[in-house]
Structure 1
Amino acid sequence: MKLKKQLPLVFCSVVLLSIASCKSTSAVAQTNTVVTTMEEQMYRPNFHYTPKKGWMNDPNGMFYLNGTYHLFFQHTPFQSVPDFSKMHWGHAISKDLIKWEELTPALAYDEKGAIFSGSAVVDKDNTSGFGDGKNVPLVAIFTYHNMKKEQAGEIDAQSQAIAYSLDNGKTWTKYSNNPVLKNPGIKDFRDPKVFWDAKREQWVMGLAAQDRQHFYASKNLKDWTFLSEFGKDVGGHGGVWECPDLFPIKVNGTNEEKWVLIVNINPGGPNGGSAAQYFVGDFDGKTFKMDAIFTKQLEKEKVAWLDWGRDNYASVSFDNVPDNKRIIIGWMSNWDYASQVPTFDWRGSTTIAREIQLIKKGNKYSLINKPVKEINKYISKTIKEKSLKGKGKLALVPTAKIDLTKAIVNFDLKNLQQDTYTFTLSNAVGESLTFGINNSDHYLFLDRTKSGKTDFSEKFASTITKAPLDGNQKEAAFKIILDKTSIEIFYNNGEKVMTELFFPNQPFTELSVSSSQKIELNNLVINQLNIN
């Protein structure tokens, strides 16, 4: 949960980042009345989750139970800019991680504070004692933020609390003895992510503490003991660490088990603003320690990024997913401009749900991201082209054959030269979004500077997003997920990912590729999605 200093009933048009531009809530609303109903609908995603009304940011408390995935999220249902004194947990459910049904908010602020980010677990053995003998207790662990303490300058404004549900997450009861973990004197002390450590028979809480990670243990989710700290002098420290997630995972195709720690950071992302980094190592029930191979990786790379785009933040995983799959989902925005994007009734959406896997190539560990396979059941039409060859500019999508506001595009580039291969999404009014691979200077790129509405924030399209590559590439595989206002690029089976928003004045209808060298594009598959 991202918090910026706030005065009573005062908001900042740049997510409280610029004191000079702070306005009252009503003033913020007035500046957005130029957004028409047509634009509201043009920019609402076809299949990425977004609330019907109000503001959303961090995904919270995600779990799977009895055939249903539960997504909770930071939410102010009554306005489309965040009110950090009245934050709720919104709630949505899905059978397949793609099509979501919004429910009433699960947790609301109270006299102890706003409901900031956290997690939820399925307490199968009733370690908490909340069970009634009939239903498995679900326990949500969240941060209370006391705005009065914040405004008074008191350092202990944030503490950790719990609530429980005995009806599969429909209703929640806050624990009468909250908080369960008081603040030890740390200003930024939030976002508890809890998991069951079966080997040690204990609950473990990862907690963001300024630019460090703290670990705590409990037998009953009520009484917590400090274990250790991680993070000094490793990884990115350009801002506050937030929304951590620690979990065990097998190296893909082997029986080797490692532990991965995801830590979101704001600011300090690779292309500005907020982003998610990760670490690979081992956890002994008390301490997380980076693997020696991964330590050497960071000596060169400095930071391992989960997503190089500007719009994937607060990525955390679901609890209790079948087959030990590790499914994550993130908030598709950036604190640099999140409250200024050109929508009015609602703001904020999630990324596509992704399965992550850990791979090891030589002396390097990498987390790869793949869209969950459930999205494929919504394919309604497919266009295939086995091979396209040429020079200059090649059209990839026949006009009016595919709706690029809801599509998946797959292709392979072969025999790459030391040149730039640029893919362009364009529309009838001359707007464009470009992405591709610079094989001379060795990086992927994504450019939204000419993609439509960009002037709502000077930070939205101020630079071209880049993701470095290791030397010349001989071939490259791309999977592109397109929604009305977003692009998610999965490069080489998800080894590099870029996620970004855009706001064209008309939908993009054409996709082309260009290069000064010969283009060899194979296995082009364009899938039309139909998700109603």
Structure 2
Amino acid sequence: MNPTAELGCRYRPVWHYAAERNWLNDPNGLVYSNGVYHLFYQHNPYGDVWGNMSWGHATSADLLTWDEQPVAIPCDEQEAIFSGSAVVDIHNTSGFGVGGVPPLVAIYTSAYAPGSPLAGRQAQSLAYSTDDGATWAKYAGNPVLDRASADFRDPKVFWYDGESGSYWVMVAVEALDHEVVLYKSADLKAWEYLSTFGPANATGGVWECPDLFELPVDGDPSNTRWILVVNLSPGGIAGGSGGQYFIGTFDGVAFRSDTTVTEGLQSDDSRMADYGWLDWGRDYYAAVSFSNAPDGRRLMIGWMNNWQYAASTPSEGWRSAMSLVREVRLVSRGGRPVLVQEAVDPVESHGRELCALGRRTLADGVTWLPAESSGDVLRIDAEFEPGAGGRIGLVLGSGGEHAVVAYDSVIGELTLDRTASGNVDFHETFASVERVAVRLEDGRLKVRVFVDRCSVEVFAQGGMATITDLVFPRDPSTAVGLLAEGDGGILVSLTVTG
């Protein structure tokens, strides 16, 4: 095996889903049915670069351990199978069900190939499964929604039951127009236009992979808001791909945002930090939520990569992984609802404690933890009382390579610096420092960091802010150090689990 191949195998994550071979990007068709979570995704069955877009498939009972399944919906000479969603058609509104068993119905974008009667168009189509996702058949009446557009894609469908009636709602995008378009249907086959949202806030790239869902505020079912997610590329807060969200209301016809900062297509980079961002890192994109998740949970997963350099990441035979699954909630902060995210934690059932430290003042510089705290798959929980000046945080690395998670109390900013994290030269845009403003709570900063061979996911202040970045260290083991600069402050507690 050549050195590049060895590195590619070593970078394969343990806690994050990656296809055994070949290319993977956007999560699709996320649905829970009969005790199983289904993760479909954009997949090239024939190579480790983008192309031949089909729906790959993986299943899990716990959102942590995934079993790869055969390709669910393959491309053919007429169409590529672009992004979309899936639903459990409980009442068999589509008529695809057999013997009283509700079908699973996938709603996807047909990207019509040259030579097809609809060549160059993107339109919405259906496929259905009567064996709980094991096999799929395309609907003979496809496409079911065609706007004669070349960039109409990524349908997210859900059942709406409210004052305006009960029906399916489709949320899709006119990507180049920076518009989210909404339709309704009684049977998933015939669709009626409802409304359009946008352009608004970040419009520096095409809009893709929308999602729309309702959440209670502080767990109160009598006080809810709707969340509209819109991914875009480029134009993300950290550069390249990113995901933004709006908080507002939905009456069954139109979404109205309470958090729009700028409207239209005007560019105002100075306001970027005022927008709602799902993640402040470079590598959390195309995030969408599961349909039919039990116990009313809203669970999301994103593609852990960035279109700026996705085709160049140093792996061999496989490329890209998904993020950890995140549960999202709304909590009140300063009199307004704020989105918080918590990772479904692989450590709770599979981890063991490697190191635990109590309260201590940190000396200036880096204090490395004992060797038994090292590893390439780690969860680190740390709580700090930052001093009045300088930075405080964590250093993740070995052999002179390191990523740094640090808080600067002077400017109230949390950063993830991967500029010296190992192999950063494979693309000119990869070396980067990600930033997010974070307020201390009772003078303290809490971070939970997941390290998994090729990635670092940071959750600050209970998920009020997140940063997700890929890293490609040449040394397979990650040591953990405590960083203090100047009046860095106090470590309250730290636990390393692996």
Q: TM-score, normalised by structure 1?
A: 0.87
Q: Do the aligned residues in 1 keep the contact of 2:288 with 2:302 (CA within 8 Å)?
A: yes
1:155, distance to aligned residue in structure 2 (A)? 8.8
Q: Which amino acid aligns with 1:73?
A: Y
1:302, distance to aligned residue in structure 2 (A)? 4.0
1:436, distance to aligned residue in structure 2 (A)? 1.1
1:287, distance to aligned residue in structure 2 (A)? 0.2
Q: 1:82 to 1:437 in 2, by over 3 A?
A: same
**Structure 1: where are the runs of 5+ without partners?**
1-32
- Match status 1:175 vs 2:139: yes
- Match status 1:203 vs 2:145: no
Q: Do the aligned residues in 1 keep the contact of 2:215 with 2:224 (CA within 8 Å)?
A: yes
Corresponding residue for residue 97 of structure 1: 63
Corresponding residue for residue 405 of structure 1: 376
Corresponding residue for residue 229 of structure 1: 196
Corresponding residue for residue 80 of structure 1: 48
1:463-520 superposed Cα distances (whole Å, 9 cap, x missing partner): 3211123599832100001100100000000000000001111124321122211431
Any idea what SS the aligned residue of 1:524 has?
strand
Any idea what SS the aligned residue of 1:148 has?
coil
Q: Which amino acid aligns with 2:123?
A: S
Say which of 457, 461, 478 aligns to 1:509: 478
Corresponding residue for residue 282 of structure 1: 249
1:80, distance to aligned residue in structure 2 (A)? 0.4
1:185, distance to aligned residue in structure 2 (A)? 3.8
1:14-93 equivalence runs, <5 A? 35-83=3-51, 86-93=52-59
- Match status 1:487 vs 2:451: no
Q: Which amino acid aligns with 1:353?
A: V
Say which of 113, 127, 150 aligns to 1:187: 150
1:342-491 equivalence runs, <5 A? 342-373=314-345, 375-395=347-367, 397-399=369-371, 401-428=372-399, 430-461=400-431, 463-469=432-438, 474-491=443-460
Any idea what SS the aligned residue of 1:467 has?
strand
Any idea what SS the aligned residue of 1:449 has?
strand
1:360-417 superposed Cα distances (whole Å, 9 cap, x missing partner): 2123332111011464111133422222322213535311x13431111101111532
1:153-212 superposed Cα distances (whole Å, 9 cap, x missing partner): x99510100000011100001000100001x24332100000010222100000011211
Q: 1:226 to 1:375 in 2, by over 3 A?
A: farther
1:139, distance to aligned residue in structure 2 (A)? 0.2
1:212-260 superposed Cα distances (whole Å, 9 cap, x missing partner): 100010000001111000012x210001110000001101233311100
Q: Which amino acid aligns with 1:444?
A: L
Corresponding residue for residue 12 of structure 1: none
Q: Which amino acid aligns with 1:486?
A: S
Q: Do the aligned residues in 2 keep the contact of 1:161 with 1:178 (CA within 8 Å)?
A: yes
1:431, distance to aligned residue in structure 2 (A)? 1.1
Between 1:40-49 and 1:304-313, the stretch displaced more is: 40-49
CA distance in 2, matches of 1:80, 1:390: 45
1:264, distance to aligned residue in structure 2 (A)? 0.4
Q: 1:387 to 1:206 in 2, by over 3 A?
A: same
Between 1:408-417 and 1:61-70, the stretch displaced more is: 408-417
CA distance in 1, matches of 2:256, 2:350: 42
Any idea what SS the aligned residue of 2:466 has?
strand
Q: Which amino acid aligns with 1:355?
A: E
CA distance in 2, matches of 1:449, 1:145: 38
Q: Do the aligned residues in 1 keep the contact of 2:43 with 2:55 (CA within 8 Å)?
A: yes
Q: Do the aligned residues in 1 keep the contact of 2:94 with 2:189 (CA within 8 Å)?
A: yes
Q: Do the aligned residues in 2 keep the contact of 1:56 with 1:76 (CA within 8 Å)?
A: yes
CA distance in 2, matches of 1:482, 1:318: 24
CA distance in 2, matches of 1:313, 1:192: 16
- Identity over aligned residues, as a percent? 39
CA distance in 2, matches of 1:436, 1:64: 37
Any idea what SS the aligned residue of 1:37 has?
helix
**Structure 2: where are the runs of 5+ without partners?**
264-270
Q: Which amino acid aligns with 1:457?
A: H
1:113, distance to aligned residue in structure 2 (A)? 0.6
Corresponding residue for residue 266 of structure 2: none
1:304-362 superposed Cα distances (whole Å, 9 cap, x missing partner): 10100000001000011111100000000000000100112000100001100111212
1:447, distance to aligned residue in structure 2 (A)? 1.1
C-alpha RMSD of matched pairs (Å):
2.1
1:303, distance to aligned residue in structure 2 (A)? 1.6
1:439, distance to aligned residue in structure 2 (A)? 1.7
Q: Do the aligned residues in 2 keep the contact of 1:412 with 1:476 (CA within 8 Å)?
A: yes
Q: Do the aligned residues in 1 keep the contact of 2:231 with 2:242 (CA within 8 Å)?
A: yes
Any idea what SS the aligned residue of 1:517 has?
coil
Q: Which amino acid aligns with 1:260?
A: I
CA distance in 1, matches of 2:205, 2:313: 22
Q: Do the aligned residues in 1 keep the contact of 2:392 with 2:488 (CA within 8 Å)?
A: no
CA distance in 1, matches of 2:429, 2:11: 20
Q: 1:360 to 1:253 in 2, by over 3 A?
A: same
Between 1:251-260 and 1:188-197, the stretch displaced more is: 251-260
CA distance in 2, matches of 1:228, 1:53: 41
Q: Which amino acid aligns with 1:414?
A: E
Q: Do the aligned residues in 2 keep the contact of 1:442 with 1:472 (CA within 8 Å)?
A: no
Q: 1:468 to 1:134 in 2, by over 3 A?
A: same
Corresponding residue for residue 267 of structure 2: none
CA distance in 2, matches of 1:364, 1:155: 47
1:54, distance to aligned residue in structure 2 (A)? 0.4
- Match status 1:252 vs 2:224: no
